[in-house]
Amino acid sequence: MNDSSFTLSEKKRLLASLYRDTVPLRESPIQHGYRNKVDIITSTQGIGLKQPGSWDVVVDTTHIPLANNVINAALPLIREWAKTVPLYDLQAKTGFLQLISIRGENDQLQVTLTTRSNEYAEYIQRLYELLRPTSLYWTTTEQTGGSIGEHIQHIYGQKHIRLRVADKYFFIDPYSFFQANTQAAALAINAMRPFVHGRVVDMYCGVGTIGLSLSDDVFGVDIVKQAIELAKKNAQGTSARFVCADAQRFLINFSPDTVIVDPPRTGLQQSVFALVRAAPKTIIYLSCNPQTQVRDLALLSSRYTRVHTEAFDFFPGTHHVEVLVVLRRKD
């Protein structure tokens, strides 16, 4: 998880070569203890983080410098409990407990257990009694990788936890995408504010984090039904609207002034052409993958001019960087 070889200077040089310009890079407000979510691999090799580039090697971990205090306070109890459970053997592909996803901040803690079967319910109850998290989920999987299973069940506590970004609180569940560094995310959201105007559409809206932080009258679109349900819950008390739909098709019948996009690492892909057809005056594009963002910007350049570029060090100590680009339509 941590790679101190990636300094701010090196990130700036990478950005300058990609964007062919000097890109301001804002530091994270905190350099350590910023992550609100980690995935703990539990195997006969150890209980901790995966070795970079491989799910087959686990590094036994007792403390995670990049994780916040809530996670590190829970980690010793979780490790001791896990040692009493049949752990998964990565080589033999046998065992029970495979992954523990921990997410939390302040007084909120959500734990999701991924196991190979729905046996040993007594072990799950024992963890809840020991840890008393805000929310506990249990899911089973037949996959061997380190990802949450598909058949998820809420077992104990509340269904959702509430985490804060940019002075707003958001309900999230184990499947929700949520920025792991909320303080750095707040910087990026505040940098977007001067460019938001008129009718606002938030593509890839997820649980509504960015759109609701910027406007009470946003129209959010996402293809994930569960995310939209939580976005509607988060929008209570506002005039914001959220719909589960393919954003490309949705934009055909909508004429927004401002479109906010925060796509996955694969970038906009075919949504680029939907954006060009919709022709909003302003596109606010936050990206976790500069390479795919630069590709998309080239496709948008015939219709749009880049008026603002700024990077944010969401993940100090790693090679990752987030880039905010604001585009203005050529009239």
Residue with tokens 């752990």: 87
Q: How many CA within 13 A on the CB side of residue 7? A: 4
- Is 115 contained in some domain? yes
Question: Does 26 share its domain with 44?
Answer: no
Q: What kind and span of H or E run contains 323?
A: strand 322-329
Q: Domain count of the chain?
A: 2
Its pTM surpasses 0.75:
yes
Residue with tokens 């959702």: 160
Question: Does 319 share its domain with 209?
Answer: yes
What's the token pair of residue 258? 């401002």
- Domain limit, last residue, from 123, 158, 193: 158
Q: Is 244 a catalytic residue?
A: no
Give the single-character DSSP code of 223.
S
Question: Does 151 share its domain with 272?
Answer: no
Residue 51 makes CB contacts below 8 A (sequence gap 6+) with 57, 58, 59
Question: Does 48 share its domain with 137?
Answer: yes
- Is 170 contained in some domain? no
Question: Does 190 share its domain with 322?
Answer: yes
Give the single-character DSSP code of 87.
B
Question: Does 215 share its domain with 185?
Answer: yes
- Domain residue limits at 325: 8-31+181-329
Note down pLDDT in tens along the chain; length 331 residues.
344 457 889 999 999 999 998 999 999 999 999 999 999 999 898 999 988 777 678 899 999 999 999 999 999 999 999 999 999 888 888 889 999 999 999 999 999 999 988 888 999 999 999 999 999 999 998 766 555 656 789 999 999 999 999 889 999 999 899 999 999 999 999 999 999 999 999 999 999 999 999 999 999 999 999 999 999 999 999 999 999 998 877 887 788 999 999 999 999 988 898 899 999 999 999 999 999 999 999 999 999 999 999 999 999 988 899 999 999 999 8
Q: How far apart are CA 101 and CA 110, in angstroms?
A: 8
Backbone angles phi, psi at 219, to 5 degrees: -115, 110
- Is 1 contained in some domain? no
- Domain limit, last residue, from 102, 123, 158: 158
Task: Residue 313: give its domain's CATH number.
Answer: 3.40.50.150
Q: How far apart are CA 46 and CA 209, in angstroms?
A: 35
pLDDT in tens, 249-291: 788 778 899 999 999 999 998 889 889 999 999 999 999 999 9
User: What pLDDT does residue 5 have?
Assistant: 55
Question: Does 81 share its domain with 192?
Answer: no
From the candidates 97, 283, 286, 288, which is the catalytic residue? 288
Question: Does 212 share its domain with 297?
Answer: yes
